[in-house]
Chain A
Amino acid sequence: MSNKMHIQLNVNGEAHEFLAEPRELLIYALRERLNITGPHVGCDTSHCGACTVTLDGKSVKACTMFVAQANGAEITTIEGIGSPDALHVLQESFREHHGLQCGFCTPGMITRAVKLLEENPTPTEEEVRFGMAGNICRCTGYQNIVKSILAAANEMNAQPSSSEAVGHNKVEAAE
């Protein structure tokens, strides 16, 4: 099992290089090699979305992707969305509308929501519920998560400049 691969990743704007077995999952490369522990492991089968990251502009569940498959990719995790001094609108909105409780699903949830609002800046409630259906929360019953996302969408549309913290794969939210 010593066939290691040379892996290059760009995570949250930082370049990383390491040798890894091809079977190593992306989530463990992030969490255990790079100490990026925001994305979590909840189910191991890509159902719960706690491990959601953005990879080359797409929402991806890092628990079922080999790091070898991610070689050369540009990845954004929750750690690359906003900063303590300049939170992303969604991070503010989840707090404002009580969109989280135990916090375990939250990094994946917000990472997915950022992407969702890039894909669809003016979603209906139904579109939010459908677009977030790959992320499971056991605490909130989703009502306040949906509320947080819709409120953030409104705010981002009202103030286009405030969505600048989205990160690397930003799509202009408003015309």
Chain B
Amino acid sequence: MKDEVQTREDRVANLKGMGCSRKRVEDARFTQGKGNYVDDVKLPGMLHGDFVRSPYGHARIKSIDTSAALALDGVVAVLTAEDLAPLNLHWMPTLAGDKQMVLADGKVLFQGQEVAFVVARDRYVAADAVELVEVDYEDLPVIVNPHESLQSDVVLREDLAGQTSGAHGPRKHHNHIFTWEVGDKEGTEQVMENADVVVEQSMYYHRTHPCPLETCGSVASMDKVNGKLTVYGTFQAPHVVRTVASLLSGIEEHNIRVISPDIGGGFGNKVGVYPGYVCSIVASIVTGKPVKWVEDRMENLMSTAFARDYHMTGKISATKDGKITGLDCHVIADHGAFDACADPTKFPAGFMNICTGSYDIPVAHLAVDGVYTNKAPGGVSYRCSFRVTEAVYLIERMIEVLAIELNMDAAELRRINFIKKEQFPYTSALGWEYDSGDYHTAWDKALEAVDYKGLRAEQAERVAAFKRGETRSLMGIGLTFFTEIVGAGPVKNCDILGMGMFDSCEIRIHPTGSAIARLGTISQGQGHATTFAQILASEIGLPADSITIEEGDTDTAPYGLGTYGSRSTPVAGAATAMAGRKIRAKAQMIAAYLLEVHDDDVEFDVDRFVVKGAPERFKTMKDIAYAAYNQAIPGIEPGLEAVSYYDPPNMTYPFGAYICVMDIDVDTGVPDIRKFYALDDCGTRINPMIIEGQIHGGLTEALAVSLGQEIAYDDMGNVKTGTLMDFFLPTAWEVPNYETDHTVTPSPHHPIGAKGVGESPHVGGVPCFSNAVQDAFRPFGNRHTNMPHDHWRIWKTANDLGLHG
């Protein structure tokens, strides 16, 4: 037989299991234009929905006249809050324990807010009808600054008037949402009082938006004959959407089928539940026809899921030789008009308490105050685990500021404060247990790879040349060492709307030795169909090419909490490995029976079970799969299937060392990224090709956020960056080539040691680009300037420092 002459290496290679750069199975359809995204879904008789949106940041609605719209040929319905109120659907609960208007109920609280939902024959008629809905507004004072909001007499959320307590404890003011406090306040204060050096720095991490290339949308279809509701949509968490849809609509959960088709990027934008989804469902129930809603780019940027908007103040103390002794942080968090942050329930500021970073800081304290303003709701984790980007930005800026204060090299300051390899598992001052790490090795590797000393010497020469008037270009060296916290999470402390954040995998092995596995997650470009098959191939010994991975259909996939926060590999990937091991355990019994030996006398080897000590006696997994379906084996049920629901014992803690070298033209403010080196340690690497692709992409999103991308409002609450004309998305022209590198420190608690990687480059990249800009101006007295460092702001920094003569 051909099989018998294969070497063991051939058999391993044939599996295309973990560790190889397997080409993606998804690509065939995408490269040929055969993807199936939500806007490609077309059902018979389908109607189109479109929103009337508020032009005001804050206004009372005196009246809504829908008669002219309804009179237009082709308009089927116009829904307002009044129509939804009898169904109790004019408001909906948010993921953060607040509630949000589905359609404006008496007033509007942000520009772009949904006021009425028009349903028509096609998108053109719907757009015409939107123009015909007459809304009479009375404008109210607008507040776009959270500091102002906390001082203002203006009550933004009249529905909460008099409520002195919210989902996360006491409210101090009518525009205050919560205070979240972690750590040792008094202990930190004491350390600060007695410290050699204390530096304080305020910084604003600006509001931005995940802006996936595909906007959000849904197609709802209520089948009144069978009582079954089907909803296609851009859902990063389809199972949660089904549960929420059931709770809101009263339709039993088994009668709701939620399908996430191909998703054109998510980055956090598609975690939340939006009024558009709800309105398409209600409209389908009302009209009895399928209803499609797909937002345009402006609606996307103005109304669904902003990110960041954290006004942060850090205070760090150290000995005079640079050993950090304490960290105190305070955040004013602008949550917009409704608290719709997508965080695990018990973490209203996400995992902001990872802000001690990669450093052994003995005592720390963090307080976050959530505040309402007249801005869009959201607060999603844009390509990061919950608020980790904010946390890492804070600590990596504080390290730089401390280095300036101590007149120390920032690389050395990091090194002397790293958590040491032997300290893992390490419990941080703010309560996390870091699973594994080897920071010194990674840092040294990175500094050596870029010739850090040489770069600093070059930079010093450049400064001298600048001062002599020989150049108008400065050189910045951006450093960042980050630790992520991903893989939410252990059910004991992580849930979304009460549902524990486990995940799942169900495997069916077919008689001929191929398989299908279904998971509770949903790919949005991460390549799950490729990588999860690789995990399984290694675990069960069938070729990855013979394994189909399916996600996103709640009628067929096991319940899971979805894909965001780099949780797919840490949680669903673990479930996949564990389900594979269940398959293998049963296969072992079948193999032993077929080989007529005791279960303990066979062992797994790549793609087969062999008799111990007699490798010529074996049964391949293919043989075993066939036997499972056509032999009556005493004491063993027919079939070969398994399901695993995995509750992770801990989070995983990927880390990395990034270095950016940038030349900055002082007169134009234009930065030129000369070099970007990214070393990532995501534990066990499943597919290096896909990992590197994720790193390139995450770094580019970090470049965008750091160097120009923002959602800006004027004082009237108008969104100033509502189209791609103003909202910065880098093109191939602006983006450098990145150098990637890695170390491998497996997670000790994950079945295959994998930690997750998709978000690391964003988390580490943002402070790295920012530090590079700020480092260029350090020799001229710069301590901190806020992002985004667009050309104008860089020019202004130079100007403020007197560099324009």
Which A residues contact B (CB, under 8 angstroms)? 1, 21, 23-24, 28, 31-32, 35-45, 47-48, 50, 77-79, 82, 84, 87, 91, 94-96, 98, 100-107, 110, 128-130, 132-146
Residues of B within 8 A of A138 (CB): 211-213, 265, 267, 697, 701, 729
| A87-B696 contact in complex given A43-B297, A47-B724, C-beta closer than 8 Å | no
A37 and B732 contacting across the interface, CB-CB below 8 Å:
no
| A40-B31 contact in complex given A47-B724, A136-B729, A141-B735, C-beta closer than 8 Å | no
> How many angstroms between the C-alpha atoms of A143 and B701 in the bound complex?
13
| A101-B724 contact in complex given A78-B32, A95-B27, C-beta closer than 8 Å | no
A101 and B23 contacting across the interface, CB-CB below 8 Å:
no
7 closest A-B pairs by CB: A38-B33, A103-B30, A104-B264, A102-B525, A141-B696, A141-B700, A78-B33
B264 and A146 contacting across the interface, CB-CB below 8 Å:
no
Excluding A41-B39, A42-B214, A45-B724, 15 further A-B contacts by CB distance (< 8 Å) are A94-B31, A95-B28, A102-B213, A102-B264, A103-B30, A103-B262, A104-B262, A106-B31, A132-B731, A138-B701, A139-B525, A141-B697, A142-B732, A143-B735, A146-B732
> How many angstroms between the C-alpha atoms of A106 and B85 in the bound complex?
43
| A28-B123 contact in complex given A35-B42, A138-B701, A143-B737, C-beta closer than 8 Å | yes
**Quick one: which of A44, A50, A128 has the most chain B CB within 10 A?**
A44
Residues of B within 8 A of A84 (CB): 28, 32
Contact for A45 among B26, B693, B725, CB less than 8 A: B725
* B 672-703 contacts with A by CB, 8 A: 689-690, 692-694, 696-701
Contact for A106 among B30, B526, B732, CB less than 8 A: B30
A133 and B296 contacting across the interface, CB-CB below 8 Å:
no
A140 and B696 contacting across the interface, CB-CB below 8 Å:
yes
B298 at the interface (CB under 8 A from A): yes
> How many angstroms between the C-alpha atoms of A143 and B692 in the bound complex?
10
B40 and A37 contacting across the interface, CB-CB below 8 Å:
yes
Residues of B within 8 A of A145 (CB): 732
A44 and B40 contacting across the interface, CB-CB below 8 Å:
no
B23 and A95 contacting across the interface, CB-CB below 8 Å:
yes
A104 and B213 contacting across the interface, CB-CB below 8 Å:
yes
B124 at the interface (CB under 8 A from A): yes
The minimal Cβ–Cβ distance linking B524 to chain A, given in whole angstroms, is 6
B24 and A98 contacting across the interface, CB-CB below 8 Å:
yes
Residues of B within 8 A of A102 (CB): 212-214, 262-265, 524-525
Contact for A143 among B524, B525, B738, CB less than 8 A: B738
> How many angstroms between the C-alpha atoms of A117 and B265 in the bound complex?
27
The minimal Cβ–Cβ distance linking A152 to chain B, given in whole angstroms, is 12
B62 at the interface (CB under 8 A from A): no
Contact for A44 among B265, B297, B525, B699, CB less than 8 A: B297
**Quick one: which of A133, A136, A139 has the most chain B CB within 10 A?**
A139
Q: List 26 A-B contacts (CB under 8 A).
A: A31-B40, A38-B34, A44-B296, A77-B33, A87-B31, A94-B27, A98-B24, A100-B30, A102-B525, A103-B29, A104-B37, A104-B213, A106-B31, A133-B733, A134-B731, A136-B213, A136-B724, A137-B213, A138-B212, A139-B693, A140-B700, A142-B700, A143-B737, A143-B738, A144-B693, A145-B732
Residues of A within 8 A of B265 (CB): 101-102, 104, 138-139
* B 372-426 contacts with A by CB, 8 A: none
B264 and A40 contacting across the interface, CB-CB below 8 Å:
yes
**Quick one: which of A28, A35, A103, A129 has the most chain B CB within 10 A?**
A103
* B 584-643 contacts with A by CB, 8 A: none
B124 and A21 contacting across the interface, CB-CB below 8 Å:
yes
Residues of A within 8 A of B212 (CB): 102, 104, 138
Residues of B within 8 A of A141 (CB): 696-700, 735, 738
Contact for B33 among A96, A98, A107, A137, CB less than 8 A: A107
Q: Which residue of B lies closest to A77 (CB)?
A: B33
Q: How many residue-residue contacts, CB under 8 A, span A and B?
A: 177
**Quick one: which of B33, B297, B689 has the most chain A CB within 10 A?**
B33
B362 at the interface (CB under 8 A from A): no
> How many angstroms between the C-alpha atoms of A44 and B294 in the bound complex?
12
B732 and A133 contacting across the interface, CB-CB below 8 Å:
yes
> How many angstroms between the C-alpha atoms of A87 and B33 in the bound complex?
12
Contact for A104 among B28, B35, B737, CB less than 8 A: B35
A42 and B27 contacting across the interface, CB-CB below 8 Å:
no
The minimal Cβ–Cβ distance linking B251 to chain A, given in whole angstroms, is 29
B527 at the interface (CB under 8 A from A): yes
The minimal Cβ–Cβ distance linking A66 to chain B, given in whole angstroms, is 12
The minimal Cβ–Cβ distance linking B296 to chain A, given in whole angstroms, is 5
B32 and A87 contacting across the interface, CB-CB below 8 Å:
yes
The minimal Cβ–Cβ distance linking B358 to chain A, given in whole angstroms, is 24
B723 at the interface (CB under 8 A from A): yes
The minimal Cβ–Cβ distance linking B136 to chain A, given in whole angstroms, is 27
The minimal Cβ–Cβ distance linking B640 to chain A, given in whole angstroms, is 32
- The 0/1 profile, CB within 8 Å of A marked 1, for residues 31-55 of chain B is 1111101011010000000000000
- The 0/1 profile, CB within 8 Å of A marked 1, for residues 15-26 of chain B is 000000001101
A103 and B35 contacting across the interface, CB-CB below 8 Å:
yes
Residues of A within 8 A of B693 (CB): 98, 101, 139-140, 144
A96 and B23 contacting across the interface, CB-CB below 8 Å:
yes
**Quick one: which of A41, A48, A98, A138 has the most chain B CB within 10 A?**
A138
Residues of B within 8 A of A21 (CB): 124
> How many angstroms between the C-alpha atoms of A130 and B40 in the bound complex?
30
Contact for A101 among B29, B39, B40, B527, CB less than 8 A: B527
Residues of A within 8 A of B525 (CB): 101-103, 139
> How many angstroms between the C-alpha atoms of A28 and B126 in the bound complex?
14
> How many angstroms between the C-alpha atoms of A39 and B697 in the bound complex?
22
Q: Which residue of A lies closest to B21 (CB)?
A: A98
> How many angstroms between the C-alpha atoms of A96 and B24 in the bound complex?
9
The minimal Cβ–Cβ distance linking B628 to chain A, given in whole angstroms, is 34
- The 0/1 profile, CB within 8 Å of A marked 1, for residues 182-223 of chain B is 000000000000000000000000000001111100000000
| A140-B213 contact in complex given A45-B725, A87-B32, C-beta closer than 8 Å | no
Residues of B within 8 A of A139 (CB): 265, 525, 693, 697
| A103-B26 contact in complex given A138-B697, A138-B701, C-beta closer than 8 Å | yes
The minimal Cβ–Cβ distance linking B545 to chain A, given in whole angstroms, is 14
> How many angstroms between the C-alpha atoms of A125 and B267 in the bound complex?
28
Residues of B within 8 A of A35 (CB): 42
> How many angstroms between the C-alpha atoms of A144 and B128 in the bound complex?
42
Residues of B within 8 A of A41 (CB): 39, 296
The minimal Cβ–Cβ distance linking A47 to chain B, given in whole angstroms, is 4
> How many angstroms between the C-alpha atoms of A146 and B693 in the bound complex?
13
Residues of B within 8 A of A48 (CB): 213, 724, 729
